[in-house]
Amino acid sequence: MRYLILFSLLFALCQAGAAAPGIRLEGVKPPFTTGTYSFTSQGQELEMVYMDVKPEGVPLGTVVLLHGKNFSGSYFAQTAKELVKAGYRVVMPDQIGFGRSSKPGHYQFSFQQLAQNTHGLLESIGVDSANMLGHSMGGMLAVRYALMYPQQTQSLTLLNPIGLEDWKAKGVPYRSIDEWYQSELNKTPDKIRAYQLDSYYDGQWKTAYDPWVEELAEFIKSPGYATMAWDQALTYDMIFTQPVIYELEELEVPVLLIIGQRDTTALGKDRASPELRKQLGNYPRLGREAAEAIPESVLVELDGVGHLPHIEAFDRFMPPYLAFLKAAVGKTSADRFKLYQSSSEKLMDQFIFLQSMGGM
């Protein structure tokens, strides 16, 4: 009996010492040491949590990795390690409303606001110029950042970005913020896994994908999840109503598009008519249209890969990305074009050029 009581006390102490589930991932260990950028926005004191990983010696440059809607900066861990190994400093912020950052009860979400928050963070840690990479929703944010801060953007990489088409203009019915909110409240770990299995991985699940379900499940278990669910509903509305596609031709920086060709992501597709649904999320076509619209772009098409190339096919994603970063340092578009051509010859998935790059 004495040993049973002692065991119960020890178990209770262990449970008390473990971090409870929280909407800032209090119970999940990050892959790298985190920092916190505290600032005032829209009359609120907020915190952006970020990871800042540096190589030994002087960095070749800084890479900023912008996460997608259903993720935090943590899913870039493998990418960050490889970039640091190659000599780059890597910054991975969690946007307001996501990951370990603040979850305000009320916030006017816009890509301009998130870009301004990100710019403030980078200034606070001494980053004057960076190579921006955005995945999924992060691609829309990265485009907005490059448009707002072209002098501080050395290059831009769009990794299966959403927003390469204007869903509302194509006739996808509008879903209210209240409807998105109820949808978020109804999420379960099983529903999250089923969505990712179907939408991201073509029905082929691997244990390596488990952390991205578990991280979202951590939010759901939190007593404060309703606040985060509201933020998520607001960001869905931001994505649907704030397209960046019409401004691609205004980009002034070298751009790489890495497009998994199996991807069919399209916001609100479930509400579209059967005829319209067939037309949405055609990434082979959308990637090429975007590349043609951007003044200086190179395109990499990854056949048989879905929405998350850096998770599903890392060994195919990383070589062209590193090759692009090395070429993007050229002083002129003509210099960069020569570097793109020479490096492309060594790649399994080669660069595709769909425009003249300024008449070179």
With a CB cutoff of 8 Å and minimum separation 6, the contacts of 279 are: 170
What separation in angstroms does the CA of 9 have from each of 16, 20, 21, 153? 10, 18, 22, 55
Instruction: Please compute the mean of the pLDDT values over residues 94-106 and round it to a whole number.
Output: 97
Contact 129, 146 (CB under 8 A): no
167-194, pLDDT tens digit by residue? 999 999 999 999 999 999 999 999 999 9
Q: Closest Cα to residue 230, out of 107, 111, 115?
A: 107
Q: Give, rounded to a whole angstrom, the gap between the first and last alpha carbons of the chain.
A: 84
- Architecture of the domain delimited by 35-344: 3-Layer(aba) Sandwich (3.40)
pLDDT of residue 336: 94
Residue 356 pLDDT class (50, 70, 90 cuts) = low
Parallel/antiparallel/unpaired status of strands 297-302 and 130-136: unpaired
6 vs 164, more confident: 164
284-332, pLDDT tens digit by residue? 999 999 999 999 999 999 999 999 999 999 999 999 999 999 999 999 9
Domain ranges of the chain: 35-344
Q: Which residue shows structure tokens 């979400």?
A: 109
Compute the residue count for the chain.
Answer: 360
Euclidean distance between CA atoms 140 and 248, whole angstroms: 10
Q: Which residue shows structure tokens 């999840």?
A: 225
pLDDT of residue 248: 98
Euclidean distance between CA atoms 166 and 175, whole angstroms: 15
What is the rounded average pLDDT for all residues in the chain?
93
Residue 11 pLDDT class (50, 70, 90 cuts) = very low
Contact 344, 301 (CB under 8 A): no
Euclidean distance between CA atoms 163 and 281, whole angstroms: 9
Euclidean distance between CA atoms 300 and 287, whole angstroms: 9
Contact 235, 69 (CB under 8 A): yes
Residue 65 pLDDT class (50, 70, 90 cuts) = very high
Region of 282 (left: φ > 0; alpha: ψ -120 to 50; beta: rest) is beta
Contact 14, 207 (CB under 8 A): no
pLDDT of residue 16: 41
User: Which two structure tokens, joined as six digits, stand for 108?
Assistant: 């006017």
H-assigned helices in 136-176: 137-148, 167-170
pLDDT of residue 19: 61
Q: Closest Cα to residue 90, out of 102, 99, 77?
A: 77
